[in-house]
Amino acid sequence: MAIELRELRPEDHARIAAVEGGAAWNAAVALWDVYLADQSAGRRAVRLAWDGGRPVGYGTLAWDSDYAPFRAASVPEINNLVVAAPARGRGIGTALIRAFEDLARAAGRAHIGLGVGLYADCGPAQRLYAGLGYRPDGRGITWREQPVVPGDSVPVDDDLVLWLIRRL
């Protein structure tokens, strides 16, 4: 069946919550309420990937990144990109990324960026982004958007990331 990408709608909450998407899948209604409000206000683009009436992936494009170097350079940030575990390997993540790249390009942006985690569970995402032409921004790693410098001790979690950027 063909995958359809479309904007988040208010009625999508229940379908998102019903998906057994794996550890990264976030069905919290409060998060989706924020995303819907951000989308309505033009702060964020939200895309869901659908397969036969069932959500199988999602992601967002924040027009003003929380990562200061991206924000200062007007680099929009792809974030919270997740494909449900049973749907992986079908090109859904790539389709979502390409859709966000198209949105950024249409908005006149020269670059697009994202942050990727550093532990083994993030390995498939790291390989995907590198394969699509994303490269480190050269500023090292951050934890909660703050630079990590030699001697720092921070948790190895989803907030410890390497920032990647791609020219559009």
CA–CA distance, 37 with 13 (Å, rounded to integer): 13
pLDDT of 77 strictly over 90? yes
Residue that has been written with the tokens 């995958």 in this structure:
3
Q: What does the pLDDT look like over 18-76, one tens digit per residue?
A: 888 888 888 788 999 999 999 999 999 999 999 998 999 999 999 999 999 999 999 99
pLDDT, residue 51, reads 95
Estimate to the nearest angstrom the gap between the alpha carbon of 73 and the chain centroid: 19
pLDDT of 1 strictly over 80? no
pLDDT, residue 18, reads 87
Domain range list for the chain: 4-167
Q: What does the pLDDT look like over 121-162, one tens digit per residue?
A: 999 999 999 999 999 999 999 999 999 999 999 999 999 999
pLDDT, residue 20, reads 87
- CATH assignment, 4-167: 3.40.630.30
CA–CA distance, 49 with 83 (Å, rounded to integer): 8
